[in-house]
Homo-oligomer: A and B are copies of this chain.
Amino acid sequence: MLKNLDKLLQDKNIRPTAMRLLALEYISSQQTAVSLSDLEAAFHRADRITLYRTLKTFEEKGLVHSIMDGTGSVKYALCEEGCECAPEDMHVHFFCNKCQETICLPKSRIPKIPLPDNFKQEEVSLVIKGTCGSCS
C-alpha cells in the first residue's frame, strides 16, 4: 500500500519523505476533504508548518486540489486520475452543515454558465451546502 503512495508521489515529481507518505496516506484514507487542522490533529507530533508546506507542495504538483468551502479554512482532496485541475475538470463540492465535512462530488460536472460579453472564465468553484447522507 505504501508502495502505491510512493509511486504516486514519484509520478508527480515529489520526493517521498516519511512525512509526505504519512500525510498522503492520511488524505487518501479519508472520505472527505481534509484541512490543515485535520492533518495537524492526526499527527500531533508533526509541525504545523511542515504539514502546511506539505499540502502546498501536493497542490502545486497537482496531487491534490484545494477547496474553499467558505468555512475560512482551506480543504484539500486527492485529484482524480488524470485530473488537470482545469476548469473542465472541476467538480462540485458539498459541505455538510451538520458534520462540517466537505465532500467531492466528482460525478457532477459544473454546467457551463453564460457570461456577459468580454467576460473570460478561468476557474470556477461550486460549493453546495446542506445536509449530507450520513447526517440526514
**Residue A132 CB within 8 A of the other chain:** yes
Q: How many monomers of this protein are in the complex?
A: 2
Task: Flag if A131 contacts B136 (CB, 8 Å).
Answer: no
**Residue A86 CB within 8 A of the other chain:** no
Stretch touching chain B among A16-24, A35-43, A54-62, A116-124: A116-124
Per-residue 0/1 for A107-136: is the Cβ within 8 Å of any B Cβ (1 yes, 0 no)? 110110111111111111111111111001
Chain A residues close to B by CB (< 8 Å): 68, 70, 92, 94, 97, 105, 107-108, 110-111, 113-133, 136
25 A/B residue pairs, CB under 8 Å, sorted by A = A68-B70, A92-B113, A105-B115, A105-B116, A108-B114, A108-B115, A110-B126, A111-B111, A113-B126, A113-B128, A116-B133, A118-B132, A119-B130, A119-B131, A119-B132, A120-B130, A120-B131, A121-B128, A122-B130, A122-B131, A123-B129, A124-B128, A125-B126, A125-B128, A126-B127
